[in-house]
Structure 1
Amino acid sequence: MRPALIQSKLKRYAAGQPLRVLDLFAGCGGMSLGFHRAGFHIAAAIEFDRLAAASHALNFEGHSLEAVTAPSVNHARDITATRPEEAVAHLQCPLAESIDVIIGGPPCQAFARVGRAKLREIQDHPDAYLRDPRAQLYLSYLDYVQALKPLAVLVENVPDVLNHGGLNIAHEICETLQALGYDCRYTLINSVHYGVPQMRERMFLLALRKELKQTIVFPRPTHAFTLPKGYAGTRRTALKTLEKLADTDSFFQETPQPDANLPPAVTAAEALMDLPLITAHLEGSLKRGARRFTQGIPYADREPSTYGHLMRHWPGFESKGHINDHVIRSLPRDYKIFRAMQPGDQYPEAVAVAEKLFKAEATRRRLSPQSKAYKDLRKDFVPPYDPSKFPNKWRKMAAGEPARTLMAHLGKDSYSHIHYDGQQARTISVREAARLQSFPDGFHFVGTMNPAFKQIGNAVPPLMAYALAQTIKAALDDVAARSPYERRHDSRAETGLHAAYSGSSHGT
């Protein structure tokens, strides 16, 4: 990158203008939200899914719900059909000066067959992604980096990209970015160590222009929690390819470890305790079908936790004294099972509970095991899936622990997150899923219940993104302080995640 271009971007920042972010594969905006809170300006976004793109536009572009849901309006864009100059045309400035930071998580499906030579081709052939449609999405991401020349790049993906068919994709990404003029590092981070009430392990890759001369660091944990064995095993599997790279992989950094003296991780109960109870389904008044609440529901008459207070008062996304989207699935067969399950119980335990309940009812009715009534009753009580094949299909949350990873599969069913309160006997609501993912109560999702669940499960937790945004901001603040331009005081600038729990204004 030309030194003059770097200086131009730093001069603009030093003059008090926010750093401009382009969010690729933006989803509904989890990563955008974290950067927004850190004082960045979300200048542009690209998202293929129509409803997720509408959610992003609703929350970050100032559009009304009516505007983003109008039949004639479509905010979705295909990155393979949208050139960088088109994506930032509305900023009305030279292409290479338009964006300071690019963030995003290219879908991992594109990584399986991307080879080293293909990744390097982007340097000399901006349209190289056209040659290999299986790798279009990732090569398009690199195309944007090359065209827009950001000061910083952040990539997020699942841990498996470190050992994807024997190939370490994160290493390959770093090699490519290094050739494009960036210092680059990657690591594995679990969001539970950063104030998110959820155990969510992800790969994060951070790159800064070499001319900035900044040592890349990842944010220090703010909360302590010992991960279950399953998460440790997943991490070991993901890191397996690193053994082959041994000392040659200078791009990998060890995962930042939490200090035992840090505050404990935020629990599911702390995240959800001030949300209203849901019991209509137990009274038979909840029907199947797509649904959303367009009217707000008052909070429960309970004092929120520190985390709950943050969710209510996130700067720029404050609630208006109520919540939306507190809706659940209709699962009448399973309410009695949910009630009887113990915290931490999974599908095999759920089936055992169902069998016990069924046999007790069959005995009460004096049904013969050979009768049709007996068999029909069993269908009314016992889920049909083989416990040996679907051991993790169900899970009842523990109130005193963070939740397990929320997945996009929430859009199909939410058995993976059964509410810890057996008296409510249900799976979590859309708003509860948002809380567990650290979306504030003033953030709204476009679409009905299932698409909203999917958007939440696909997102980067905003608090995790906020920690990473603060790290990038600190590096650029340091450069700006040493540049010929004196950085103007910005009352919004704060460091560390302590600000996330203070309720002080921080948005753009």
Structure 2
Amino acid sequence: MIVIDLFSGAGGLSEGFHGEGFKTIAQVEKDKWACETLKTRTFFHFLKEKRDLDTYFKYVKSAHSYKGISTAREEVYIKYPELKEKISFEILNKKFGNPANDPEASSSNQIIKLIEKSAKYNNVNNVDLLIGGPPCQAYSLIGRSRMKEEAERDNRNFLFYYYLKLVKEFRPKAFLFENVPGILNAKKGMVFGAIQEEFDNIGYTILSGKQVDHKKNVLDFSDFGVGQKRKRVILFGFRKNLNYQYPNFDKYKIRWEHRLDTASIISDLPSLKPGSGEDFAVVDYVNNSSTSLTDYQAFMRRDSIGIMNHKARPLQDRDREIYQLAIEKAKNGEQLKYFDLPARLKTHKNEKAFLDRFKVHWSENTPHTIVAHISKDGHYNIHPDINQARSLTVREAARIQSFPDNYKFEGPRTYQFTQVGNAVPPIASKVMAKAVKELLR
């Protein structure tokens, strides 16, 4: 089954579909470093199919800096020149928008032509599924005639319409996109009503879930087998003549033999002090005995030779002391509040706003939601080990997001964090893929 992936990010959504036999002919993503991650992931899947993961491991070991990616990749291209061609067609570093207003943007027609070239390269005539999660700002769908001038200039307000246009152009059997729960109740439900109307006009039905009351259709990915509380909405649309039902995700939820708490997810990773670790090098596992691993940890280690993207942020002494206080509180089942801090550790007088700015992923609790803000600071993502007293690394955040250890994130660490925080967890996408595949067949 053929897939187009829009607003791909680092590829979390398409990862699950790939694992279920879908063929993604195009991934469209505006961020340069996320696209580099998509290319590296294409390396992995291509070389695994060739039964040559040794070449993949050689690549990730040789790329000691994000500045050396191109040189490291050329070694692989010498052996597999067709891989370079494949990537040039299938991974499109393009930003949706109006080139007249934004010189970095590409029109939907330009992107459609590139996808058509990829379809021709892959000998594909029909697309089965379109996936992706476009932001849907409320004022881009309601009262467009009343929009302020500055809102009109912001291409982000129209991203939904680019998604709609590509559905109209490629006429897939179905489409699926993940979004935040707010999309269902924005402007008292008028936004989602407008979305349904827009798709109805091009011959598609769109459902927010099994319940008639949209507010009851919010899903928590922790129920899917993902190791974090992450509430999202999965919108599913299909051509009216196909008369599909909403996918049965419950049927394919992954059941682990143990509770998914922070310890069962990341406790096997190498201990680090603030500022230590490796951004790019592959580090050996501390314990290679499968008997001491949880099922989840063993699953994360499949087809992997070690740990990547595992470097801790440096910390000021004051912040490290705060982290230790937060960990002590978490140990007793409490949340550190800003007003709990001794005066010498406070940096401002506002004790009413952002009281929960320091939050620990406690060992015995299900991790809280990983979001893109982790790229700015680590205060909301503190490691539970008081001896380490630091924030999570990219790899630890990726583990919580259910990315396997062989999934290398490219670019400077800040961009790696953003990619992880914005991603759809691959285990959630695997559940989606299984349920959607059952319908499409």
Give the TM-score of the pair, scaled to structure 2: 0.76
Per-residue CA distance 1:227-281 (angstroms, 9 max, x = gap): xxxxxxxxxxxxxxxxxxxxxxxxxxxxxxxxxx9966511111102111113x3
Deviation at 1:201, TM superposition (A): 0.4
Contact 1:208 1:214 in 2 (8 A): yes
Match of 2:142 among 115, 133, 145: 115
Inter-partner Cα distance in structure 2 for 1:184 and 1:68: 45
Deviation at 1:60, TM superposition (A): 2.4
Deviation at 1:37, TM superposition (A): 1.4
| Greater Rg over alpha carbons, structure | 1
The answer to whether 1:205 aligns with 2:235 is: yes
Contact 1:346 1:393 in 2 (8 A): no
Find the counterpart in structure 2 of residue 339 from structure 1: 324
In structure 2, what residue type is equivalent to 1:324?
M
In structure 1, what residue type is equivalent to 2:315?
L
Contact 1:223 1:265 in 2 (8 A): no
Contact 1:57 1:75 in 2 (8 A): no
The answer to whether 1:429 aligns with 2:418 is: no
Match of 1:105 among 130, 133, 158: 133
Inter-partner Cα distance in structure 1 for 2:239 and 2:71: 36
Inter-partner Cα distance in structure 2 for 1:412 and 1:106: 22
Contact 1:267 1:402 in 2 (8 A): yes
Match of 1:312 among 301, 306, 330: 301
Inter-partner Cα distance in structure 2 for 1:134 and 1:222: 34
Contact 2:13 2:425 in 1 (8 A): yes
- Relative to structure 1, the CA distance from residue 415 to residue 134 in structure 2 (aligned partners, 3 Å threshold; closer, same or farther) is closer
The answer to whether 1:86 aligns with 2:114 is: yes
Find the counterpart in structure 1 of residue 204 from structure 2: 182
RMSD between superposed Cα atoms in Å: 3.1
Inter-partner Cα distance in structure 2 for 1:273 and 1:168: 45
- Relative to structure 1, the CA distance from residue 385 to residue 170 in structure 2 (aligned partners, 3 Å threshold; closer, same or farther) is farther
Find the counterpart in structure 2 of residue 194 from structure 1: 224
Any stretches of 5+ residues in structure 2 without a counterpart? Answer: 47-55, 64-68, 74-87, 98-105, 146-151, 209-216
Find the counterpart in structure 1 of residue 286 from structure 2: 300
Match of 1:146 among 165, 168, 192: 168
Inter-partner Cα distance in structure 2 for 1:275 and 1:111: 42
SS at match of 2:359: coil
The answer to whether 1:77 aligns with 2:94 is: yes
The answer to whether 1:266 aligns with 2:260 is: yes
The answer to whether 1:460 aligns with 2:424 is: yes
- Relative to structure 1, the CA distance from residue 351 to residue 208 in structure 2 (aligned partners, 3 Å threshold; closer, same or farther) is same
SS at match of 2:236: strand
In structure 1, what residue type is equivalent to 2:184?
L
Contact 1:397 1:419 in 2 (8 A): yes
Map 1:50-449 onto structure 2 (within 5 A): 50-60=32-42, 66-67=69-70, 76-80=93-97, 81=106, 82-92=110-120, 97-108=125-136, 110-115=137-142, 135-186=157-208, 187-220=217-250, 265-279=259-273, 281=274, 286=275, 293-301=279-287, 303-313=292-302, 318-320=303-305, 322-332=306-316, 333-341=318-326, 342-343=329-330, 345-348=334-337, 352=340, 354-355=341-342, 378=344, 381-384=345-348, 386-449=350-413
Deviation at 1:166, TM superposition (A): 3.2
Per-residue CA distance 1:353-379 (angstroms, 9 max, x = gap): x41xx7xxxxxxxxxxxxxxxxxxx2x
SS at match of 1:278: coil
Deviation at 1:98, TM superposition (A): 4.1
Contact 1:95 1:148 in 2 (8 A): no
Contact 1:438 1:463 in 2 (8 A): yes
SS at match of 2:159: helix
Find the counterpart in structure 1 of residue 148 from structure 2: none
Contact 1:190 1:199 in 2 (8 A): yes
Inter-partner Cα distance in structure 1 for 2:126 and 2:39: 19
Contact 2:323 2:358 in 1 (8 A): no
Any stretches of 5+ residues in structure 1 without a counterpart? Answer: 1-18, 119-129, 225-260, 359-377, 478-508
Find the counterpart in structure 1 of residue 49 from structure 2: none
Inter-partner Cα distance in structure 2 for 1:274 and 1:310: 12
Inter-partner Cα distance in structure 1 for 2:72 and 2:195: 37
Contact 2:258 2:295 in 1 (8 A): no
Inter-partner Cα distance in structure 1 for 2:433 and 2:200: 21
Contact 1:194 1:467 in 2 (8 A): yes
In structure 1, what residue type is equivalent to 2:301?
R
SS at match of 1:202: strand
Deviation at 1:20, TM superposition (A): 1.5
In structure 1, what residue type is equivalent to 2:314?
S
In structure 1, what residue type is equivalent to 2:132?
G
Map 1:460-479 onto structure 2 (within 5 A): 460-477=424-441
Contact 2:219 2:232 in 1 (8 A): yes
- Relative to structure 1, the CA distance from residue 385 to residue 79 in structure 2 (aligned partners, 3 Å threshold; closer, same or farther) is farther
Contact 1:47 1:53 in 2 (8 A): yes
Inter-partner Cα distance in structure 1 for 2:124 and 2:20: 23
Deviation at 1:450, TM superposition (A): 1.1
- Relative to structure 1, the CA distance from residue 470 to residue 202 in structure 2 (aligned partners, 3 Å threshold; closer, same or farther) is same
Deviation at 1:95, TM superposition (A): 11
In structure 2, what residue type is equivalent to 1:398?
W
Using the TM superposition, name which of 178-187 and 25-34 deviates more: 178-187
Contact 1:347 1:395 in 2 (8 A): yes
Per-residue CA distance 1:444-470 (angstroms, 9 max, x = gap): 111121111111111111111111111
Per-residue CA distance 1:189-225 (angstroms, 9 max, x = gap): 110001111100011101122333432234007779x
Using the TM superposition, name which of 93-102 and 465-474 deviates more: 93-102
- Relative to structure 1, the CA distance from residue 307 to residue 412 in structure 2 (aligned partners, 3 Å threshold; closer, same or farther) is same
Deviation at 1:132, TM superposition (A): 9.4
Contact 1:294 1:324 in 2 (8 A): yes
**Residues paired across the two proteins, number:** 371
In structure 2, what residue type is equivalent to 1:46?
V
